[in-house]
Amino acid sequence: MNTAARYFLALPIILLLISCNATGGDKDTLVLIKTTSGDIKIKLYDNTPIHRDNFIKLVNMGFYEGISFHRVIKDFMIQAGDPATRTGLTKVQLDTLDRYTIPAEFRREYFHKKGALAAAREGNEVNPEMRSSGTQFYIVQGKKQSEADLKATEERINSNTKQALFSRLIKETADSARLSGKPLPESQIQEIASMKMFEYLTSKGEFKFSPEQISAYINSGGVPRLDGTYTVFGEVTEGIEIVDMIAATPTNNADKPLNDIKIVKMKLVSK
């Protein structure tokens, strides 16, 4: 996903994030996001523990307070989490998404339905592992899909996944051979990568939307084309109307709201 906002995340902040203690439990982790447009309550998924614990750290340290929704696209999503929107480091032209990242946690049961909470990231060409931004997140608004739309999206996801996987296997095979002190010719690297890809596709199969996904996308909406490539780690439980309100706000050519919409506070809450 591309993003217009940029910042420099200093090393002390990264170290602080890593050192902060997170709290987790058997019950759902709920977070209240108080914004200047209203309140949104989200649930964090326990089956994406890296993203859950990272988000809890940021919430507990007050990281998101004063940060704006810097990228808003109607019928798509609302995005926040860039500290440059709070500190005003507009002169720094470094990418916000490559300074602090965490590993992807793709799970087929978590998808980009309306209200899904997911992590932003850099594109595949510079981020073949599809690592998530440590701070930037988005909440899906999306739109309702047809069965034909979903079929075409399945084909596109499978094509993109195969391309990304093959590129990663080529790199891993070449790097492994080089580090062993026995570099391989390009033809042999291609052959080994092809065999590994065949094994993967045979064991995993191609991507297909589940009946639950199909029902949600047709009846409620979402952004199915992002499934399997961006980590979904939670969902809105209350305040989806606030998401719709923010998504409908007028924006400039960079998708930034003309009237600043800020996160006033985030905090862990009980039901």
Model confidence at 21, in pLDDT bands (50, 70, 90)?
very low
Of 65-79, 185-199, 219-233, 239-253, where does mean pLDDT reach its minimum? 185-199
If one compares 201 and 71, the residue with the highest pLDDT of the two is 71
Q: Which residue in this structure is represented by tokens 């990231």?
A: 121
Q: Which residue in this structure is represented by tokens 């964090």?
A: 44
- In contact, 35 and 247? CB cutoff 8 Å: no
Summarised one tens digit per residue, pLDDT across range 156-210 is 888 877 887 888 899 899 999 999 998 899 999 999 989 988 888 788 778 889 9
3-state secondary structure of 40: strand
Q: Which residue in this structure is represented by tokens 């094509």?
A: 159
Give the pLDDT confidence score for residue 260 in this predicted structure.
95
Strand partners for 95: 6
Q: Which residues contact 13 (CB under 8 A, 6 or more apart)?
A: 100
Summarised one tens digit per residue, pLDDT across range 30-50 is 999 999 999 999 999 999 999
pTM across the whole model: 0.78
Chain centre distance of CA 244? 19
Give the pLDDT confidence score for residue 204 in this predicted structure.
77
Q: Is the pLDDT of residue 19 over 80?
A: no
